Amino acid sequence: MRTLAPWFSRPPALLALLLSAPLSAQQDLEVIPVQGNVYMLQTAAAGGNVGVLPGPDGILVVDDQVPNLAEAVLRGIRRISDEPIRFVINTHVHIDHIGGNQLMARQGATIVAQENVHRRMLTRLRIPRGGGRFMPQPAEAARPMVTFDRQATFRLNGEEVQVFHVPPAHTDGDAFVYFVDSDVLHTGDVFRTNMYPIIDVYNGGTMQGLIDATQLAVDLAGPNTKVIPGHGFGFTDRDGLLEVLEMITTVRDRVRDMVGEGLWLDEVLEAGPTSDYDARWRGTESWNERDLIPIIYAEVGGAAETIRAN
């Protein structure tokens, strides 16, 4: 009976693990008070950082994680407040920021996003990793019920919340969410503190837009502003933004200079324009400098051929 062997020969504990729901569905998110009335929900394991503004007018949420952490997002919100969830703002279209939309909509929340986020949801999604891998189209209930072009302002719970479209950076639908009274900025994935920025060319992202949008965040931030990154532990501030702005601008300038000298992409990669930053920013196997540099190279006018003809 060889055909049964691989499955039934596994140790019982492992079999139970394989048959159970993903562990992450059981996991709780950490609730972190940021400043004023704003909180963030975070997990080390996966997904984007969630912003939460509770209050008597109803809760406003910024991004809602991957689908299998949607229940964990809801539990995290409920540890902060039992008021109705009124609005969810998506900072962009990626699945680790919209994954709880359907569950939030079922709680009565209105999903809000920039128009390009909605437009991208009218077909299959793509993600920047894995060479632009396709993902299923989000269900209609997961798509924004309200969209905006340039900006939208929310006034609730004694807070003014400014949501505005930034230059095409991580994607072409990126929005910043600024809580004016609490002085907290949620940047979405335009800004992250755990690795090199992802420029999602499949969803309209650009390096120049990333620099411009990061500069916008620096200009907006004051000495007391707290900044929630799209990914990365905890929150940061204007200095955290400046560190990344300096890094991305320097790397872009180096690649541009190398293109100006006529280097081919393989020569640029060999020259290591990020080498002094790699220890801090390299990140993961699925996104590192070898993913970022070719995007910059193409954008600053590098030769279309990626490998030099020998």
Q: Site residues (CB under 5 A) for Zn ion?
A: 94, 189
Nearer to Zn ion, 104 or 258 (CB): 104
Q: Distances in Å between the alpha carbon of 290 and those of 268, 271, 294? A: 10, 12, 7
Give the nearest distance from C-beta 20 to Zn ion in angstroms: 29
- CB-facing half-sphere around the CA of 239: CA atoms within 13 A: 3
Instruction: Yes or no: say if 41 and 73 are a contact pair by the CB < 8 Å rule.
Output: yes
CB of 285 to Zn ion, least distance (A): 18
Min dist CB 256 to Zn ion, Å, is 25
Least separation in angstroms between CB 128 and Zn ion? 8
Give the chain's length.
310
Q: 302-306: list long-range contacts, CB under 8 Å, 24+ apart.
A: 302/255, 302/259, 302/263, 302/264, 302/265, 302/268, 303/264, 303/265, 305/264, 305/265, 306/265, 306/266
Nearest CB to Zn ion, comparing residues 230 and 302 = 230
Q: How far is the CB of 47 from Zn ion (least distance, A)?
A: 10
- Distance, in Å, from the CA atom of 218 to the CA atom of 66, rounded to the nearest integer, reads 28
Burial (CB < 10 A; 0-12, 13-18, 19+), residue 166, is buried
User: Which is nearer to Zn ion, 65 or 157 (by Cβ)?
Assistant: 65
Using the minimum distance from each CB to Zn ion, give the nearer residue, 20 or 284: 284
Q: How far is the CB of 231 from Zn ion (least distance, A)?
A: 8
Name the residue among 287, 246, 245, 296 with its Cα closest to residue 268. 296
Complex with Zn ion: residue 182 or 203, whichever CB lies closer: 203
Cβ closest to Zn ion, residue 101 vs residue 157:
101
In angstroms, rounded to a whole number, what is the distance separating the alpha carbons of residues 254 and 241? Answer: 20
- Tell the smallest beta-carbon distance from residue 93 to Zn ion (Å): 8
Neighbouring CB atoms inside 10 A of 142's CB total 21
For the chain, the distance separating the N- and C-terminal CA atoms, rounded to the nearest angstrom, is 55
Q: Which is nearer to Zn ion, 94 or 238 (CB)?
A: 94
Partners of 268 in the β-ladder? none
How many Cα atoms within 13 Å fall on the side-chain side of residue 54? Answer: 16
CB of 270 to Zn ion, least distance (A): 29
- Nearest-approach distance from CB 237 to Zn ion, in angstroms: 22
Whichever of 172 and 189 has its CB closer to Zn ion, that residue is 189
Buried b (16+ CB within 10 A) or exposed e, 171-205: bbbbbbbbbeebbbbbbbbbbbbebbbbbbbebbb
Dist. CA 30–CA 166, nearest whole Å: 28
For residues 94 and 120, which CB has a smaller minimum distance to Zn ion in the complex?
A: 94
Quick one: DSSP state of residue 307? S
